[in-house]
Amino acid sequence: MSYSHQSMGSGSRSARGYEFGRTYVVRPKGKHQATIVWLHGLGDNGSSSSQLLESLPLPNIKWICPTAPSRPVSLLGGFPCTAWFDVGEISEDLRDDIEGLDASAAHIANLLSTEPTDVKVGIGGFSMGAAIALYSTTCYALGRYGNGLPYTINLRATVGLSGWLPGWRSLRSKIESSNEAARRAAWIPVILAHGTSDDVVPYRFGETSAHSLAMAGFRQVVFKPYEGLGHYTVPKEMNEVVHWLASRLGLEGSC
């Protein structure tokens, strides 16, 4: 396995001073055509992500797997663990931690900012990692973070597994207020997958996320339900992601 600790990912701090952990990289086995930042779930780390991704038959992708800061998490009663942003109970009334979302989205953008210009870049993740991947995608479409600062990464694909879409209530009005945002939203491909038996992030949040993106003008959204699947991934799901990425990114010699 070709992992390396990237100095660009460690030591940087979020808006509240929480330090991001180690970044793991799975280098492409073939011609480097794409780079994807993959984001782990609550309490996990970049190492476990890199081990999963290293086994995928996508030789032209470089995977960057950062580790979230350790911070107090409201969902856990303030107990600290690795988290991309603060989150309470997953519900329709969930309040978005915009400051935390922006800090992590900016960290991810920084990881992608040094990639070669001829390499396509994307974002993917699981659970909370999927939420920050989708949030980053809305920042790309809008051309700015939630705090108004410019978002400059040209994303080419987004993968969200067992997650949810932060800011879904106001997304449509924000996209519709800008012709450029509408153009970007219509252009970027997104695949979402969710298990119908997920007891951590209920299935309806996957459905709502896909519907909200589509209603906001994201025209290339694919939603894949997995009957009986809980809050985890399975080979069939990852195989679909592999084929989708190879097709959408035009990768050579994949699958």
What are 176-204's pLDDT values in tens digits?
999 999 999 999 999 999 999 999 999 99
- Where does residue 7 rank: exposed (0-12), middle (13-18), buried (19+ CB within 10 A)? exposed
Q: Give residue 6's pLDDT.
A: 41
Q: Give residue 28's pLDDT.
A: 95
Q: Which two tokens stand for residue 35?
A: 């780079």
- The maximal CA–CA distance of the chain, rounded, in angstroms, is 47
The secondary element (H helix, E strand) that includes residue 179 is helix 179-187
Average pLDDT over residues 59-79: 94
Q: Give residue 8's pLDDT.
A: 40
Q: Which two tokens stand for residue 150?
A: 């410019």
> In 3D, which of 58, 12, 18, 50 has the Cα closest to residue 248?
58
Alpha-carbon gap, residue 227 to 239, rounded angstroms? 16
Average pLDDT over residues 7-27: 72
Give the range among 5-19, 146-160, 218-232, 237-251 with minimum mean pLDDT.
5-19
Residue 3 banded pLDDT, cuts 50, 70, 90? very low
Q: Give residue 90's pLDDT.
A: 73
Instruction: Give this prediction's pTM.
Output: 0.92
